[in-house]
């Protein structure tokens, strides 16, 4: 344990590791914010949402018709 402590004190491994972790975390947040705030991301998210809405409507419309294409009476 003393060896680890002396190496840490000599080379400041703990401080360097903490700094690297902080920089990495900050970079990850910056990248995530850039992706979320990009117009490309917003356009794709709207496109996916619209596609799901259309699919849901199509399934609901299909389910409300009988096998011969006429509307079912509940």
In the block, which residue shows the tokens 């080379």?
A: 11
Domain contains 60: no
Domain contains 29: yes
| 3-53 confidence digits (pLDDT tens) | 877 777 777 778 888 888 888 899 999 988 888 788 888 888 889 999 999
CA distance 1 to 20: 24
Helix axes 13-37, 39-63, angle to 10 degrees: 60
Query: Which alpha helices (DSSP H) does the chain contain, by range?
Result: 2-11, 13-37, 39-63
Domain contains 16: yes
Q: How many domains does the chain have?
A: 1
Grade residue 72 by pLDDT with cuts at 50, 70 and 90. low
Domain contains 50: no
CA distance 31 to 25: 10
Predicted model pTM: 0.41
| Boundaries of domain holding 1 | 1-39
Domain contains 27: yes
CA distance 56 to 34: 31
């Amino acid at each position: 344990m003393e060896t680890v402590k002396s190496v840490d004190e000599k080379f400041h491994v703990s401080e360097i590791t903490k700094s690297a972790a902080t920089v990495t975390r900050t970079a990850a947040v910056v990248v995530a914010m850039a992706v979320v705030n990009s117009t490309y991301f917003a356009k794709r998210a709207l496109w996916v949402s619209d596609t799901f809405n259309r699919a849901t409507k199509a399934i609901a419309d299909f389910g409300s018709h009988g096998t011969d294409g006429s509307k079912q009476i509940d």
